[in-house]
Structure 1
Amino acid sequence: MYKLLILLLIITFNFYPQTDFEERVEKGIKEIYNIKFDEAEKTFRNLIADYPNHPAGRFFLAMIDWWKILLDIENESYDDIFFQKLEDVIFQCDQILEKDPDNVDALFFKGGAIGFRGRLRSVRNSWLKAADDGREALPIVERAAKLDPNNLDVQLGFGIYNYYASVIPEEYPMIKPLMIFFPSGNKDEGIRQLRNTAFNGKHAKYEARYFLMTIYYRYESNPYLAEEFAKMLVEDFPDNPTFQRWLGRIYVRQGKMQLADSLFKDVLRKADENYYGYNFAVSLREANYYVGYNYKSNYQNDSAKIYLNKCVEISEAIDKDEESGFLINSILYLAQISESKNLIEEAISYYERLLRMRDWGNSHANAQYNLKRLKGS
């Protein structure tokens, strides 16, 4: 859902030269990514108190709420406060720019705030407003980059733009008409810029690694390069459920099911121990699904049923407009397990249930074939 961010999100970082300032910003960023929100809140509120004329503190306070949204994307309860905090950043930047139109920090953080506003609007399907934010943010950050061409972290934003402006119109034709308002992109240049930031950037390197992980997984069909960046993120931020789940699904695509199983069991352990973000439904559903799938693949059907049934239970509670792939596949696997135990009526019930759901990965054809076979007609 967040794909439009590419046209909207230009995150940039340009800080005071003071060592104290940079160290505190870096500390707070790491606290956000490692889901230590209380610590991050304290870090950035103290930063605002000590550096009240710099927009970084307010910007990163908003990023705490952004990660709360990311961890539980269907929950809209943080949207209003997130939007308000972004408006506070934009207001402060505008005040700075009235006195100093070439203030690079104000330009960077204003562009970043508008970009994140558009990013959330795209998640919430407010496409026109999101596109307007993208159109507003891009020239602001371009101006900042011209004023400070040696800022390596700015390449994050241009890398995101270059890559997705090239790829997204082909992947999502509905967005194509909006592209007339934006410069054309260059996919190869975008990857080069993102990799440069990922390996050489200062504060933006983590976000660059996140985007490279998702790009290599989703669009470049290269789970091995995706794994490279996922491992970096998990090693740096071992208590971030989003990064752990990404690495787990990358392992699944590679066929490394034992590694995936171990990782998703760790997700469930952390949920049991109330680590923040791990006990949200979307995280629990995915972890239960892959643990159950691995048990089934190893013919440990009794254990598989426990986890797959849990995935079904969670999916039924959170699926809104249509059944998720997690739910449909879990029902299919439960039908197959029932067959293996010679529980034919139970298997038939599962297959009939599949036919009442939307078709997913030939689930209807599969169910119809097996029902005909089991019923002998």
Structure 2
Amino acid sequence: MKASILILIVSLQMTVIAQVNRRSESYAPLSEELALQGIREMYNFQFDESRESFEQFTALNPNHPAGYFYQVVLDWFTFRMFKEDKDIWGEMREELDRVVIIAEGQLKMYPDDALSMVYLGAARGLKARIALSKNDFIDTFYDGYAGYSIIQEAMRINPTMIDPQIGLGIFHYFIAISSPMIRSLSYIAGISSSKEKAIDEITVVSEHGIYASIEARSFLMFIYAYIEDEYSKALVLSRGLAKEFDQSPYFHGKLADILLLNGEIEEARQHLELIPKLVVGLPDKYRMEMKNRVQYLQAESLRREGKPEEALELFKGLADLYTLEFKFNLGYIYLRTGMAYDEMGERKEAKKQYKKAVKLDNYTSAVRLSKLYLKEAYMRD
């Protein structure tokens, strides 16, 4: 239950890239192009180039929160590769406070500045994420709900904005798949949505957004692959992202996983072979995470080929090496290790793995399938 509430609140962190209004006079000429360039460089793991683009944007627009917010997002993206999670958030708090102060200053002068509201709301969403890392659930709720409300007000003032809808859509999606109690509490707070409507909201951003299109496509890829079990839809999105951001080990890793879900083993292996080359020069922490990820996917490819014994040799020990704060991928390590044990007829060991996955209590199919296989052993088709 706690996981449901927290994911619901901090889903607002996904509103990390707001829309620049093309008719706005708040920005110097060419600023929008710099912002978009920096965003694309960030997703393509060109971090030095991205920082330079965002710094130029900020220099041209020193009194607007946008550039400062972009730099916070880049710091978040890169800090997670260099540092342990517990060390990240203190270094970001002052940067986020600066975004909030600048945005609030703009709104004092221009109360109906919807764009500054969007950045203020997004900053509050990230502050909620920091509070969550410290198990400060009161501030998590306070900042998360504040961020949601601020972005809603911005959309009321300027309903033509597209990109900010991603945060609302993601928030609505997690409400829709939450427990009845969470949905009831959300309804009392004036928040309600169906899953289909939420996906439609995010799809609009993925197809028509300027700055949040990439994040919207990435989110849809995730839910189609790991929650909705619509693997063909996930594959279309994943292929596009890996092609567009061909220097990103993250997108190649996701594509390999989703190819395996679609039964495309050989093509998945081609993308796995790229990853060691793409992580050269990246921090040791991230390279180790990707090394473990590649090993996991290699194990899964062997299991899908009908070689559970060989797969199990690679699966063993991976869960102990898992360091990421959120445990979505960990659930799949447990699930697929359990499936390999079941294929070998080692039911007792399989059930141990499924129980570990179920204990994570998240929305993914790893938990749902583990519950199923606890009742009835997995059998290959």
- The amino acid that maps onto 1:183 is I
Which among 245, 264, 267 is matched to residue 259 of structure 1?
267
Identify the residue that residue 66 of structure 2 maps to in structure 1: 56
TM-score, normalised with respect to structure 1: 0.77
| 1:232 and 2:240 aligned | yes
- The change in CA–CA distance for 1:224 and 1:331 in structure 2 (over 3 A counts) is closer
What's 2:362 paired with?
Answer: none
Root mean square deviation, CA, Å: 3.8
Alignment CA distance shift 1:215-1:353 (3 Å):
closer
**CA distance in structure 1 between the aligned counterparts of 2:109 and 2:351, rounded to whole angstroms:** 65
Q: SS at 1:152's partner residue?
A: coil
> Shift of the alpha carbon at 1:90?
0.5
Please give the per-residue CA displacement for 1:53-75, whole angstroms capped at 9, x wherever unaligned.
12111000011122235668963
2:118 corresponding residue in structure 1: 108
* Cα 1:194–1:363 shift into 2, 3 Å: closer
CA 279–106 in structure 1, closer or farther in 2 if over 3 Å, else same: closer
Uncovered stretches (5+) of structure 2, i.e. residues with no partner: 357-369
Contact 2:239/2:255 (8 A) holds in 1: yes
Does the 8 Å contact 1:7/1:131 carry over to 2?
A: no
Q: Deviations over 1:93-135 (max 9, x none)?
A: 1111222212222111001111122245446654432221222
Query: Deviation of residue 198 (structure 1)?
Result: 0.8
What amino acid maps onto 1:226 in structure 2?
A: A
Q: Which residue of 1 aligns with 2:11?
A: 6
1:212 paired to 2:213: no
Note if 1:190 corresponds to 2:198.
Answer: yes
Q: Which one is further off, 70-79 or 248-257?
A: 70-79
CA shift at 1:31, angstroms? Answer: 1.4
> Structure 1 counterpart of 2:11, which letter?
I
CA shift in 2, pair 1:139/1:359, >3 Å: closer
Q: 1:343 corresponds to which residue?
A: none
Q: 2:288 maps to what in 1?
A: 281
Q: Which amino acid aligns with 1:293?
A: E
- Map of 1:39 onto structure 2: 49
In the alignment, the residues of structure 1 paired with residue 211 and residue 343 of structure 2 have an alpha-carbon distance, to the nearest angstrom, of 49
Change beyond 3 A, Cα 1:231–1:84: farther
Q: Deviations over 1:320-356 (max 9, x none)?
A: 999865368559859989x9xxxxxxxx9xx998798
CA distance in 2, matches of 1:93, 1:33: 25
Rg bigger for which structure? 1
Contact conserved, 1:9 with 1:118, CA < 8 A, in 2?
no
Paired letter, 2:151: V
2:298 pairs with one of 274, 277, 291: 291
Structure 1 residues 319 and 49: CA distance shift in structure 2, 3 A: closer
Q: Where does residue 127 of structure 2 map in the other structure? A: 117
SS at match of 1:44: helix
Aligned residue for 1:223? 231
Q: Secondary structure at the match of 2:179?
A: helix
Q: CA deviation at 1:287?
A: 1.1
Q: Tell me how far apart the structure 2 counterparts of residues 70 and 216 of structure 1 sit (CA, whole Å).
A: 25
Instruction: Say if 2:206 and 2:216, in contact at 8 Å, map to a contact too.
Output: yes
Q: Distance in 2 between matches of 1:358 and 1:8?
A: 30
64, 72, 87: which one aligns with 2:97: 87
CA distance in 2, matches of 1:116, 1:227: 29
TM-score (norm 2): 0.76
CA contact (8 A) 2:235 2:255 kept: yes
CA contact (8 A) 1:24 1:47 kept: yes
In the alignment, residue 136 of structure 1 is paired with which amino acid?
A
The 8 Å contact of residues 54 and 70 in structure 2, kept in 1 or not, is answered as yes
What residue number does 2:189 align with? Answer: 181
Is 1:141 aligned with 2:151?
yes
Alignment of 1:265-344 (within 5 A): 265-271=273-279, 273-275=280-282, 279-295=286-302, 297-298=304-305, 304=310, 309=313, 312-318=316-322, 326=333
Equivalent-residue separation in structure 1 for 2:69 and 2:283 (angstroms): 22
Which whole-Å CA distance do the structure 2 matches of 1:175 and 1:124 have between them?
26
Any stretches of 5+ residues in structure 1 without a counterpart? 340-347, 367-377
Matched length: 350
* Structure 2 equivalent of residue 375 of structure 1: none
